[in-house]
């Protein structure tokens, strides 16, 4: 059973939430720095845009493939121990890469790829355990705000990370990875001071948590039975693909044009201000507008930002359409995340969360792959027009889907067997907002 609500402090003074938030912020700087560092290092080692895009694609595939096992592990094993192990492993991997870059080893290309793989898999293992633990440290009425703050945290890290990584790389190629190692160590250490139980007591195997094939299918069955959740998942899939493709294109175009890594990182960091505004403003927007209105507005706004970016991709003013696109993405994620957290029983929390992010992220690796090959063989305008067409098709689809109308008032009732009390009282539509 989750920690009783009366023992949990309001979000503004919730010590455990602050510890998790701060630790994960420090760890999230690593992927932010890697958004600049990995492509630049691969190009430094003689890689082409197509190779860089292919490696980024493989990393994305590895991240998506790790999500279902990560979710199952977070539901089955001790979440605190899992999070500490994930951050510790990432710390060691970054320390090895940092040492390798200082020594100038000839097998650096392979080391970069292996460390990046360890990093993305460790990130997936941590994120679902943290997400599932959230309901045990904050009150049900604070969940929407907590999800929004976590999304804002990710966006702030996306702002600071590229800027920090770009300027650290300008001083030394190894410095961003040394800083990432310190961030992971800080996150792991902070978990020792979170005193709450981060999951319900585990039931004996076979008494409700499922096993074997059932472990993998139960979460998807739960999702499939909820049309509103399916619409939200579809709404998040294509933006992930398009934004990752656009960002990598901006990095590669800048690198090929001889723009310094510090300037490239600054552009990506400033663009992330849009994501921060979207995340921080989500709660206010959800109080004024229905979820349906916001989802449709975000989906129709994204193609506009990609078209506007076409003539600006090799100029610093590309920061404005990038910021516009990044403002829409966290809004969609917060609506999806809040719905999932409020409605999922604890025994399925991490599995349903990982299944949702598996679905929303399954197409994301195609963005960098399309960016690499599209930039090398077609150029930026055809590549971005293709992204625009894809986003427009999804916007039309969601607009016409009858299930989208139900998003105006999200139902919130944990899945349970007849006669079994819910894990928590169903929140009202106002609370979901």
Give the side-chain half-sphere CA count within 13 A for 308: 14
pLDDT of residue 92: 92
pLDDT of residue 91: 92
Cβ atoms of 90 and 184 closer than 8 Å? yes
Structure tokens given for 227: 């049309």
Tens of pLDDT, residue by residue over 189-239, are 988 888 878 777 665 444 444 444 456 577 788 888 888 888 888 888 888
Cβ atoms of 150 and 11 closer than 8 Å? no
The residues near 378 (Cβ < 8 Å, ≥ 6 apart) are none
Tens of pLDDT, residue by residue over 100-110, are 877 765 577 77
Neighbours of 430 (CB within 10 A): 9
Rounded CA gap, 25 and 328, in Å?
21
Rounded CA gap, 362 and 330, in Å?
17
The residues near 62 (Cβ < 8 Å, ≥ 6 apart) are 117, 120, 121
Which H/E stretch holds residue 139? none
Cβ atoms of 329 and 240 closer than 8 Å? yes
**Out of 1.10.3720.10, 3.40.1480.10, 1.20.1250.20, 1.20.810.10, which CATH number does the structure's domain 14-200+217-415+425-432 have?**
1.20.1250.20
Please list the alpha-helical segments (H only) found in 205-290.
Answer: 213-224, 227-256, 261-288
Give the side-chain half-sphere CA count within 13 A for 122: 28
pLDDT of residue 106: 56
pLDDT of residue 372: 76
Which has the closest alpha carbon to 83: 191, 197, 202, 2? 191
Cβ atoms of 195 and 8 closer than 8 Å? no
Tens of pLDDT, residue by residue over 340-353, are 777 777 777 778 88
Please provide the DSSP assignment of 1-34 as one string. -PPPGGGSPPGGG-HHHHHHHHHHHHHHHHHHHH
Give the side-chain half-sphere CA count within 13 A for 200: 17
The residues near 154 (Cβ < 8 Å, ≥ 6 apart) are 28, 275, 279, 330
pLDDT of residue 430: 34
Residue carrying structure tokens 């009282």: 425
Structure tokens given for 162: 């590229």
pLDDT of residue 97: 85
Q: Count Cβ atoms within 10 A of the Cβ of residue 390 and give its class: 0-12 exposed, 13-18 middle, 19 or more buried.
A: buried
Rounded CA gap, 118 and 88, in Å?
11
Taking 70 as the pLDDT cut, the residues of the chain under it are 1-8, 46-47, 104-106, 201-216, 256-262, 408-433
427: left (phi over 0), alpha (psi -120 to 50) or beta: beta
- Euclidean distance between the first and the last CA atom of the chain, given in angstroms as a whole number: 25
pLDDT of residue 204: 45
Which has the closest alpha carbon to 43: 275, 293, 257, 216? 257
The residues near 92 (Cβ < 8 Å, ≥ 6 apart) are 181
Rounded CA gap, 109 and 61, in Å?
19
Rounded CA gap, 80 and 196, in Å?
10
pLDDT of residue 1: 45
Tens of pLDDT, residue by residue over 358-399, are 888 777 777 777 887 877 777 778 888 888 898 899 899 988
pLDDT of residue 174: 79
Cβ atoms of 357 and 131 closer than 8 Å? no
Residue carrying structure tokens 């403002």: 327
Rounded CA gap, 260 and 269, in Å?
14
Cβ atoms of 128 and 361 closer than 8 Å? no
Rounded CA gap, 367 and 390, in Å?
11
What three-state secondary structure class fits 341? Answer: helix
The residues near 272 (Cβ < 8 Å, ≥ 6 apart) are 155, 156, 158, 159, 162, 323, 326
Cβ atoms of 134 and 143 closer than 8 Å? yes
The residues near 161 (Cβ < 8 Å, ≥ 6 apart) are 28, 29, 30, 31, 32, 33, 34, 35, 269
What is the percent of the chain where pLDDT is above 70?
85
């Amino acid at each position: 059973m989750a920690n009783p609500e009366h023992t949990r402090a309001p979000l503004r003074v919730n010590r455990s939430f602050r510890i998790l938030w701060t630790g994960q912020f420090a760890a999230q700087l690593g992927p932010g720095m890697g958004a600049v560092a990995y492509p630049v290092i691969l190009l430094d080692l003689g890689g082409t845009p197509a190779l860089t895009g292919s490696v980024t694609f493989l990393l994305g595939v590895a991240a998506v493939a790790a999500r279902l096992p990560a979710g199952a592990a977070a539901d089955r094993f001790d979440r605190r121990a899992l999070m500490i192990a994930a951050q510790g492993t990432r710390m060691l991997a970054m320390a090895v890469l940092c040492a390798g870059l200082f020594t100038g080893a000839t097998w650096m290309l392979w080391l970069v790829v292996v460390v990046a793989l360890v990093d993305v898999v460790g990130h997936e293992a941590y994120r679902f355990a943290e997400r599932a633990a959230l309901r045990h440290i904050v009150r049900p009425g604070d969940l929407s705000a907590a999800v929004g703050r976590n999304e804002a945290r990710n966006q702030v890290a996306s702002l600071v990370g590229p800027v920090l990584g770009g300027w650290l790389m300008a001083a030394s190629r190894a410095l961003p990875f040394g800083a990432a190692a310190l961030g992971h160590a800080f996150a792991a250490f902070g978990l020792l001071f979170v005193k709450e139980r981060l999951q319900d007591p585990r039931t004996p195997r076979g008494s409700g948590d499922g096993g074997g094939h059932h472990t993998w299918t139960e979460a998807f069955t739960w999702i499939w039975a909820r049309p509103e959740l399916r619409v939200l998942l579809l709404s998040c899939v294509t933006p992930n693909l398009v934004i990752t493709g656009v960002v990598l294109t901006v990095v590669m175009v800048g690198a090929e044009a001889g723009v310094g890594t510090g300037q490239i990182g600054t552009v990506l960091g400033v663009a992330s201000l849009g994501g921060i505004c979207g995340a921080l403003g989500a709660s206010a927007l959800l109080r004024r507008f229905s979820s349906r209105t916001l989802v449709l507005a975000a989906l129709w706004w994204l193609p506009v930002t990609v078209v506007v970016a076409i003539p600006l991709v090799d100029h610093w003013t590309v920061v404005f359409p990038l910021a516009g696109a990044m403002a829409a993405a966290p809004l969609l994620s917060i609506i999806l995340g809040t719905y999932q957290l409020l409605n999922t029983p604890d025994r399925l929390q991490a599995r349903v969360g990982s299944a949702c992010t598996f679905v929303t992220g399954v197409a994301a690796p195609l963005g960098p792959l399309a960016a690499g090959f599209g930039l090398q063989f077609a150029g930026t305008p055809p590549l971005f027009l293709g992204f625009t067409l894809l986003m427009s098709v999804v916007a039309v689809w969601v607009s016409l889907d009858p299930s989208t109308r139900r998003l105006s008032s999200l139902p919130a009732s944990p899945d349970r067997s007849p006669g079994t009390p819910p894990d928590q009282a169903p929140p009202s539509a106002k609370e979901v907002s």
